Structure 1
Amino acid sequence: MPKLSDNAMKNAVAQKDGSFDGHFYYGVITTGVFCSPSCSTKAANPENLRFFLDIESAMQAGYRPCKRCNPAGQDERTQQLIDVARYIETHAEDKMTLTQLGNIAGVSPSRLQRSFKDMFGVSPKHYQDAVRMRKFKRSLKEGERVTDAIYSSGYGSISRVYGEATRNIGMTPKAYRAGGKGEIIHYACRETALGFMIMAATDKGVCSVQFGDDKDSLLTLLGDEFPEARLVLSAAQDAPELDSWMLALDQHMSQGAPRPDVPLDIRGTAFQIKVWQFLLSIKEGDVMSYGEVAAHIDNPKAVRAVGTACGKNPVGILIPCHRVLRSDGSLGGYRWGLERKRTLLDMERARR
């Protein structure tokens, strides 16, 4: 069958056309479920559909198989792993071990870890993290207070809700080159100690934090970064977590509150991701040179590439690239202006 367009796949889903089964699958972003085109479930809003050419891609994107049409098949191994995933979903707030999950599937802990990751693209622990985050966001949108939503989602403390998703901060370069196609990105602007700030987020986490002199120029920058995405001005009822993250970051800058470890959804090369992950380890008030960063990531000759990675950082302050200087102690560069870099460093030194 020739390559299918989105419209052709939407029509096949609308008509529940079984002749397309096995040629593609569709996920429903509001339920987190993926189905075969002929699935008899109630039709979803076309805007909420995402299409995949194979089962693995759907699972790695975080969708679980539909119980009604069983797109993943009925073989025993597949069903065992689906049972584990559904157990995690219904007990996301509980502590669980690989031994416990292995018993559900009837396999050893190590085999469960390998098989689960092969099928879903993530470990059982990361799958649980993602379920918790979805529940947290849903609780906020349903009107729960932030603290209540944190504990009802199983995080156990306020600090953990912001830290869970930062373990995997990188998305593929291919996704970035697509210009955010298919993404809905909520954004908001706020005046801060560093001037106007824009923060933007997908349903996975913060994808952009930038600073500038006015809102219009910041919105232009966001549009240039994600030309194919649908940009939506944030309203509290639509993206309450974004408003909370903006407030937390502003309080960090202006009042010295801890830097919020919010979930990130950012794109970069493998090298850039490696640099950004290391930058998260540089403590407030400390600085390092570009050369020192290169040495710490086991690539001492990549000093210039480290500088480029810092300059490509899409989330100012959340990834503290401002803490990296030239070897002679001078400021070097900064994507949002040297004056802002100097101000940040002065504020952090004063708080030590």
Structure 2
Amino acid sequence: MSTATDTTPRPMDDDGLWQALLRREALPGRFYGVTSQGIVCRFGCPARPPLRRNLRLFGGLPEALAEGFRPCRRCDPGGERAAIQAEAVRAACALIDASETMPSLAELATRAGYARHHFLRLFREVTGVTPHAYAAARRASRLSAALAAGERVADAVAGAGFGSESRVYEDAPGLLGMTPGRARRGGEGEVIRTAFGNGALGPVMVAMTARGVCAIELGGEEEALRQSLAARFPRARIEEADEAARRAVAAVIAWIEEPRAALDLSLDLRGTAFQRRVWEALRAIPPGESVDYAGLAARLGLPRGARAVARACAGNSVALAVPCHRVIGRDGTLRGYRWGLERKAALLARERGAG
């Protein structure tokens, strides 16, 4: 498991760099040249390590290019090929979004200029899902928006591009987190109980449905936290805490004080299949450890899915129980956190025993 120090450049002598190269350890900002081939690679390149006598170490890519080394085709140290491929995937996503029916994989690959199997791999690496799953998620998003706007279920299903209303009802928990009718009514008929408390990082709100905790919010006045919850469930009945909600908020506050184990709560997570996959991966990161977005994407089998993973982290509404604060930038810096970077830094410091 990577820690924050794993992703931060650090001084290292030539022997240390050589051992890191043999381990294929990714070191941000570090590059090496292979004199026998005239190529420059980033540390962590999957290619076979060179003989040490053919090794040149560089502090930056421009230095290597200035000496005539050309970028490795496998690790793409400058990111040019990755940028071209990402643009091809973005164009494919735009085509899927604009199409009434799902384009075939062959059509998408041909337009992008790749073989089908290669394009499929690139698409998964960039977006985190297959083209079919991406199209399904977009249909679900259109369906959710139409239902929230008050459209009849049959009209919303047809307008979103689903061929069968019965299929939508069958897949409703995965698509919407609730039945289409309830989604149309803004959660009407659903009871959400809220509990409030104050911990070392300020105010805490826990919201629970019958299935489990659906929100943990940090900071802000109670009324603002209630309004944020009501915006997600505009027609649900939001009530004061019952005993389960009070126990949950007490557990959250106790965990903030002493974050030494996983925050064990029953959760009601509502998101796409990909979001839930990322959230489960986040829950597997122990307190006191962290990983960068690219590292988390790699654990999910998505070596180029860092942006997709970052978007899934941003969609998390259950602070601490789904610990998106444990994901940091590749250079070790703290990136966006919906509850504030100061809280993110404080949480990480507490988990590492420095708070």
Larger-gyration structure (1/2): 2
Structure possessing the higher relative contact order (Cα contacts under 8 Å, 6 or more residues apart): 2
